[in-house]
């Protein structure tokens, strides 16, 4: 652990937050992911279910940027750009579908559409 | 794990958070929800405090605690708020405080891209769709909530699963994270200066280190300029009009001659992942095509409805006027 701290001292990352900080960020990311997951499982409104998937994307993004900073390269941040791209594409498609589904049933309840299952 | 947080505190806080989130999920009683939210935020605060208290000398940045508490509370509110509009607004709060976390991680470009793309574009789309697709029944001017917004589906099972997963994930992360060694070094960024001769030249000129008649010398190998960056030994060679070559060592370089976050990110993006950009472009194109195809259907219905409405207006005898809403023809 000592060598890790000195290694980080050369990198400009403030040493006092050396080792624990990565775990701090990973905890925030995991907690946000789990909150999004619970929301996706429990809420019945289609729009909020998609908001929760965005929340999970966001949690993954925090972990990626934290690792990117920890390793002092920008690959993680670059990947977050693609996560943003996929989130934008997903939002466009999913919301168009949601509007169509709403016009069909006048309801956003996910259980309304359970007759689609075989 | 022991060196990061006391396991007993952590698992107790996980259980507490599970109970809190379970209570806070939408249900009939509002007081129970508030109680649950308080319990859940107490649990979150307990974990963050426990993470900090374990080693008081190693307290991370205070802004980390502020931003992470705001973003987790916002996330909780996204999940628990019965009204979709407010859920979307709380999601914007979460995004903005995550952007703050990104700033602490010195990923400035990602922070601003997050605010622009997520808070500015994606969430506005969500708000539009919420306004298009929700017609809350009203009762004497008071908007009632739809049944599917006020009752959640199996909150207990989902909370238990979620928080067991959080405990397992965090245990693995906390025991694994200290053994991850950072791979980069501080100088890894400044090595990109080799590819930016114009920036080096401008910076040196502005600080008077290069005379007006001097230019950067070509590298011996023939391509590029004579710029060398290493951890201790950096230099750049300049040549004046007479052809005399002079070396400016890295110790004399101005302090602002550094690769910025955006520049480094751009180099990583365009030099190391050019194929991914193409794929991202194709994904966005496909999403656009898909959205256009999906919404075209609606336009046809609207035209139909308009035509019938026009016919009704033309010969009103025998037909009762109906309120013609968009998409009313089904």
A56 Cα to chain B: minimum distance (Å): 10
Q: Per the CB < 8 Å rule, is B186 touching A12?
A: yes
A116 Cα to chain B: minimum distance (Å): 19
Per-residue confidence band for B233, with pLDDT thresholds at 50, 70 and 90: confident
Cα separations in angstroms, A48 against A38, A45, A52, A53, B314 = 12, 5, 6, 9, 44
Q: Per the CB < 8 Å rule, is B130 touching A26?
A: no
Q: Per the CB < 8 Å rule, is A109 touching B134?
A: no
- Can you give the pLDDT at residue A1? 36
Q: Is residue B87 within 8 Å of B78, Cβ to Cβ?
A: yes
Cα separations in angstroms, A30 against A23, A55, B36, B173 = 10, 11, 20, 9
Has residue B249 got a pLDDT over 70?
yes
Per-residue confidence band for B328, with pLDDT thresholds at 50, 70 and 90: very low
Question: Who among B48, B79, B122 is closest to A88 (CB)?
Answer: B122
Cα–Cα distance, B187 to A72 (Å, whole number)? 10
Has residue B188 got a pLDDT over 60?
no
Cα–Cα distance, B140 to B143 (Å, whole number)? 8
What's the whole-number mean pLDDT along residues B220-224? Answer: 72
Has residue B93 got a pLDDT over 70?
yes
What's the whole-number mean pLDDT along residues B237-266? Answer: 79
Question: Who among A8, A41, A109 is closest to B148 (CB)?
Answer: A109
Query: Between residues 123 and 142 of chain B, which touch chain A (CB distance below 8 Å)?
Result: 125-126, 129-130, 132-135
What are the two backbone dihedrals, phi and then psi, of residue B243, each rounded to the nearest 5 degrees?
A: 95, 10
Has residue B185 got a pLDDT over 80?
no
Angle formed at CA B134 by CA B133 and CA B140, multiple of 5 degrees? 150
Has residue A76 got a pLDDT over 70?
yes
Has residue B2 got a pLDDT over 50?
yes
Q: Which of B80-84, B148-152, B206-210, B249-253 has the highest mean pLDDT?
A: B80-84
Torsion of Cα atoms, B82 then B85 then B86 then B90, to 10°: 120
Query: Between residues 217 and 256 of chain B, which touch chain A (CB distance below 8 Å)?
Result: none
In terms of pLDDT, which residue wins out, B24 or B207? Answer: B24
By CA distance, what is B5's nearest residue in A?
Answer: A20
By CA distance, what is A91's nearest residue in B?
Answer: B122
Has residue A6 got a pLDDT over 50?
no
Has residue B228 got a pLDDT over 80?
no
How is chain A split into domains, by residue range? 20-116
pLDDT digits (tens, 9 = 90+) for B52-69: 776 655 556 788 888 999
Has residue A13 got a pLDDT over 90?
no
Has residue B94 got a pLDDT over 80?
yes
- Can you give the pLDDT at residue A50? 92
Average predicted confidence (pLDDT) for chain B: 81
Looking up tokens 């589906």 gives B153
In terms of pLDDT, which residue wins out, B230 or A100? Answer: A100
Lowest mean pLDDT among A90-99, B224-233, B305-314: B224-233
- Can you give the pLDDT at residue A105? 79
Q: How many CB atoms lie within 10 A of CB B84?
A: 27
Q: Per the CB < 8 Å rule, is A43 touching B152?
A: yes
Has residue A74 got a pLDDT over 90?
no
Has residue A91 got a pLDDT over 80?
yes
What's the whole-number mean pLDDT along residues B216-227? Answer: 75
- Can you give the pLDDT at residue B300? 57
Per-residue confidence band for B330, with pLDDT thresholds at 50, 70 and 90: very low
- Can you give the pLDDT at residue B280? 94
What's the whole-number mean pLDDT along residues A31-35? Answer: 94
Class of A20-116 in CATH: mainly alpha
- Can you give the pLDDT at residue B299? 55
Q: Which of A113-117, B74-78, B265-269 has the highest mean pLDDT?
A: B74-78
- Can you give the pLDDT at residue A14? 45
- Can you give the pLDDT at residue B105? 87
Concatenating the DSSP letter of every residue in B207-230 gives TTSS-TT-EEPBPTTSSSB-EE--
Contacts of B151 in chain A (CB under 8 A): 44
SS3 B3: coil
- Can you give the pLDDT at residue A18? 41
Query: Is B7-176 CATH 1.20.120.1200?
Result: yes
What's the whole-number mean pLDDT along residues B164-171? Answer: 91
Has residue A65 got a pLDDT over 80?
yes
Q: Per the CB < 8 Å rule, is A92 touching B163?
A: no
């Amino acid at each position: 652990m000592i060598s890790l701290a000195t290694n980080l001292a050369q990198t400009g990352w403030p040493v006092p937050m050396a080792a624990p900080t990565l775990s701090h960020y990973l905890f925030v990311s995991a907690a946000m992911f789990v909150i999004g997951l619970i929301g996706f499982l429990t809420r019945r409104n289609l729009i909020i279910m998609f908001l929760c998937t965005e929340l999970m994307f966001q949690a993954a993004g925090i972990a990626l940027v934290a690792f990117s900073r920890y390793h002092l390269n920008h690959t993680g941040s670059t990947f977050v750009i693609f996560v943003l791209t996929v989130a934008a594409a997903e939002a466009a498609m999913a919301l168009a579908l949601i509007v169509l589904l709403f016009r069909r049933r006048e309801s956003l309840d996910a259980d309304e559409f359970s007759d689609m299952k075989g | 794990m022991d060196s990061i947080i006391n396991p007993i505190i952590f698992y107790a806080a996980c259980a507490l958070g599970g109970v809190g989130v379970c209570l806070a999920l939408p249900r009939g009683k509002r007081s129970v929800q508030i109680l649950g939210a308080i319990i859940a935020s107490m649990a979150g605060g307990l974990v963050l405090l426990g993470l900090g208290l374990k080693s008081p000398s190693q307290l991370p940045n205070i802004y980390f605690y502020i931003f992470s508490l705001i973003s987790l509370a916002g996330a909780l509110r996204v999940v628990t708020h019965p009204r979709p509009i407010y859920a979307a607004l709380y999601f914007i709060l979460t995004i903005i405080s995550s952007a703050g976390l990104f700033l602490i991680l010195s990923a400035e470009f990602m922070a601003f891209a997050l605010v622009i793309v997520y808070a500015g574009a994606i969430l506005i789309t969500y708000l539009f769709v919420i306004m298009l697709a929700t017609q809350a029944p009203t009762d004497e001017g008071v908007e009632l909530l739809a049944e599917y917004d006020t009752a959640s589906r199996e909150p207990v099972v989902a909370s238990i699963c979620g928080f067991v997963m959080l405990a397992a994930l965090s245990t693995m992360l906390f025991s694994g994270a200290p053994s991850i060694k950072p791979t980069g070094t501080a100088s890894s960024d400044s090595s990109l200066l080799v590819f930016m001769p114009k920036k080096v030249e401008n910076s040196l000129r502005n600080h008077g280190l290069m005379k007006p008649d001097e230019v950067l010398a070509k590298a011996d190998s023939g391509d590029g300029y004579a710029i060398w960056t290493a951890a201790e030994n950096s230099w750049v060679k300049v040549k004046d009009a007479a052809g005399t070559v002079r070396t400016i060592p890295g110790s004399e370089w101005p302090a602002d001659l550094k690769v910025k976050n955006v520049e480094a990110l751009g180099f990583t993006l365009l030099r190391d992942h050019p194929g991914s950009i193409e794929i991202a472009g194709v994904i966005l194109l496909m999403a656009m095509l898909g959205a256009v195809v999906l919404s075209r259907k609606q336009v046809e219905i609207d035209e139909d409805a308009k035509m019938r409405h026009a016919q009704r207006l033309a010969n009103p005898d025998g037909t009762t006027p109906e309120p013609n809403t968009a998409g009313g023809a089904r």
